[in-house]
Structure 1
Amino acid sequence: MGEAALHLDDDATLLDAYSRSVADAVDRVGPAVARIEQIGGRAGHGSGFVISPDGLIVTNSHVVADAGRVRVITPGGGSAEGRVLGSDPDTDIALIRADGRFPVVARLGDSKTLRRGQIAIAIGNPLGFEWTVTAGVVSALGRSMRSSTGRLIDDVVQTDAALNPGNSGGPLASSIGEVIGVNTAIILGAQGIAFAVASNTASHVVSEIIRHGRVRRAFIGISADTVVLPRRAALATRVLSDTAVRLRKVELAGPAARAGLREGDVIAAIDGRAVTGVDDLIRMLTGDRIGQSLAVTAIRGSTVETFAVTPQIRPEPR
């Protein structure tokens, strides 16, 4: 047998192994992927996937939008109603409780173990009776993407597995059949770029919704803008940054106002960590900061002052 024939045999073996890997992962995860249709609210649909036998289903926040109840259609043709337990537009993740029992569930994996180049399989159920599959690789990790609320979603997985709008909310699976992300968006006009919210972010949101009905985030009662931080001010505050945050508005009786912060103050650091912009500030105000005193380094005129600010739970939007 010639060398060319040997190479062809090797290629065929590798392709066969790749195909088996994708097909096996789809066999594990696919039966847990359902079509999600809104009942009431704005008309819309997408995909979701079952994570527990008693009907917990993960999908995108924009798939459920303002609907309180949804219809869940499984690949086997079954249909059930479900209620939206909670929706977090800041991460584009929502959790549904569907009526009935669901024997096949998808397992949320650990997105910290992801590597660039590993197989990524996007599964959706846009029609309700059969899932669709596209495969590619993880092309980038740790990306950020702006949510519908304007907040940055961190730790986003970028993949070249093609998506369409009906696949929003479906799982991005690994070759071993674990969910490594929740497919969430495509860039219009771009070729082969799609994104998924990392599974660890989805796990955190699911846990928060189950425990509290929503994702708790810290709130200090300010509006702010990113501004240039003069070198002299950076040296005075001992931060390695050329930008900071200027307070445009400080809510009366809010945590920042109670601590003594005022409009026009420039926040350069929190607990010694540089605040380079508004997105940094939002990232730092996580749920575990609620009730915990923060040392806020601010510039007021020509002086540097430190304020003890204790965040509270961010109020729900009205």
Structure 2
Amino acid sequence: MLDFTNDSSGGEPSSQAVKQDAISDQALLDAYSNAVIDVTERVGPAVVRVETGSKTPGARERGGLGSGIVISPDGLVLTNNHVVGSSRQIRLRDNEGIVTEARVLGVDPDTDLALLRADGARELRYASLGNSKSLRRGQLVVAIGNPLGFESTVTAGVVSALGRSIRSVSGRTIEDVIQTDAALNPGNSGGALVSSAAEVIGINTAIISGAQGICFAVASNTAQFVLSEIIRHGYVRRAYIGVSGQTAPIPRRHAVAAGVDNKMGALLAQIEPDGPAARAGLLPGDVAIRLDGVDIHGVDDLIRALDRDRIDRTLEMEVLRMGRLRTIDIHPIERKPSARQGSAP
């Protein structure tokens, strides 16, 4: 008699195999749940609700709500610039309901980040910033914040993409942004995007209205740079040449005549009087295609090239003027922080 109970040639799986698969699936789900729970318990107490505005006696409280993440035991708090806005009256509410006044140490509209310090001597629970360069697509992440005023809300998802670019409120491009499908809603802004190792690897900053599962966070390495600049200088140092411009195509005949490969460049629309560009002899209509050896394929490239390392240095800028290639020496200066407004490069 033939015995088919252990047939592995493609017949129906045995009840024992089905049972083993179910156990394996359950183990995976338990591991996933335990990872999210562990992250929430370790980082959740460091996420605070950020309340801005003021109370008028006899009237409802007016202001905004967002989230923030405490990153040091002495009360340094990272949040979004758009959460803080122009408010100077800020309160932090932790997951125990305790309210602490806070003050703004500095803001950076170009990366939509703000650094606060909680007042008072009470030691706050805090979380550590991780290395966002170590992230991989598909990696588990947990978002913790206060969406729509619902405190200490936790959502989980994965890293959908890395190295994204989004536009900040100042008009400057925020580079190296993390895309995630962890659900975010208004009020999550400024909250923590956390790895399974309970390290903050992003500051939640934006959602796309009408889209499903497309949300963004400023990478923790960017946040680390911004907070160190604010602590040291009170703002983020960047170079400035005094122009406004736009990305524009380069006519092929001009590119061929000049011997360049650029299909696009940064068209200088306006030149500020007495600014570095004006003093260097740049004119409206010039198209920048290279600065200090860096190719410029649009205004975003020009903005990106004007970093703190190019302050107070004489640089070579290559421009097309009336279709002819010119090399101009330019000396960028330090861009002074404006009153929370965007500014030209």
Provide TM-score, normalisation by structure 2: 0.88
- The equivalent of 1:285 in structure 2 is 306
Please identify which structure carries the higher strand content: 1
Counterpart of 1:55? Answer: 75
Counting only pairs closer than 5 Å after superposition, residues 54-203 of structure 1 correspond to structure 2 as: 54-100=74-120, 101-126=122-147, 130-203=151-224
Deviation digits for residues 137-188 of structure 1, max 9, x if unmatched? 0001111111112211111101000011111100000000000100111111
User: How many Å separate the matches in 2 of 1:38 and 1:282?
Assistant: 31
- The answer to whether the 8 Å contact 1:49/1:170 transfers is yes
Q: Letter of the aligned partner of 1:247 in structure 2? A: L
| SS of structure 2 residue aligned to 1:226 | strand
Q: Please tell me whether the aligned partners of residues 258 and 323 of structure 2 are also in contact (alpha carbons under 8 angstroms).
A: no
Q: Residue 43 of structure 2 corresponds to which residue in structure 1?
A: 29
Of 12, 15, 19, which residue of structure 1 is paired with 2:33? 19
CA displacement 1:248-305 (0-9 Å, x = unmatched): 1111111111112112212111123221111111111112211122210012224321
Q: What is the match of residue 18 of structure 2?
A: 4
User: Contact 1:68 / 1:83 at 8 angstroms: preserved in 2?
Assistant: yes
- Indicate the residue corresponding to 1:209 in structure 2: 230
Please, which moves more after superposition, 240-249 or 159-168?
Answer: 240-249
User: What's the counterpart of residue 259 of structure 1?
Assistant: 280
Q: Check whether the contact 1:91–1:153 (CA below 8 A) recurs between aligned residues.
A: yes
Q: Which one-letter code corresponds to 1:304 in the other structure?
A: L
Corresponding residue of 1:272? 293
**Closer, same or farther: CA 224–126 of 1 in aligned 2, 3 Å:** closer
Cα separation, 2, equivalents of 1:144 and 1:229: 23
Equivalent residue letter for 2:213: G
With 49-58 and 19-28 compared, the bigger mean Cα shift is at 19-28
Change (3 A) 1:50 1:134: same
Deviation at 1:239, TM superposition (A): 3.9
Hey, what does 2:269 align to over in structure 1? 248
Query: Which letter maps to 1:15?
Result: L
- On the 8 A contact 1:73/1:129 being kept in 2, the answer is no
CA deviations on 1:48-97 (whole Å, 9 max, x unpaired) are: 01011111000011111001230011112211101011111111100101
Distance change >3 Å, CA 238–CA 21, structure 1 → 2: farther
**Whole-Å Cα distance in 2 between the matches of residues 103 and 38 of structure 1?**
20
Alignment check: 8 A CA contact 2:147 2:184 kept: no
Asked if the contact 1:239–1:274 (Cα under 8 Å) also holds between the matched residues in 2, the reply is no
Contact 1:77 1:129 in 2 (8 A): no
Partners of 2:148 and 2:186 within 8 A in 1: no
Describe the superposition over 1:95-117 as per-residue Cα deviations: whole angstroms up to 9, x where unpaired: 10101333421111111111000
Superposed CA offset, 1:198-237 (max 9, x none): 1111111111111111112111001112221123433455
Aligned twin of 1:44: 64
Q: Rg bigger for which structure?
A: 2
The answer as to whether partners of 1:76 and 1:129 remain within 8 angstroms in 2 is no
CA 1:13–1:267 in 2, change beyond 3 Å: closer, same or farther? same
Contact 1:220 1:255 in 2 (8 A): yes
Amino acid paired to 1:56: L
Counting matched residue pairs gives 318
Structure 2, unaligned runs of 5 or more: 1-14, 56-61, 340-345
- Equivalent residue of 2:187, what SS? helix
Structure 1 spans left out of the alignment, 5+ residues = none
Larger CA deviation: 124-133 vs 9-18: 124-133
Q: 1:127 to 1:159 in 2, by over 3 A?
A: closer
In structure 1, C-alpha distance between the alignment counterparts of 2:336 and 2:30, rounded to whole Å: 53
**C-alpha distance in structure 2 between counterparts of 1:251 and 1:104, whole Å:** 47
Amino acid at match of 2:330: V
Relative to the length of structure 1, the TM-score reads 0.95
SS in 2 for 1:165: coil
- Aligned-residue Cα RMSD (Å) equals 1.8
Q: Does 1:233 find its partner at 2:254?
A: yes
Give the Cα–Cα distance (whole angstroms) in 2 for the partners of residues 67 and 156 of structure 1. Answer: 26
What's the % identity of the aligned pairs? 58
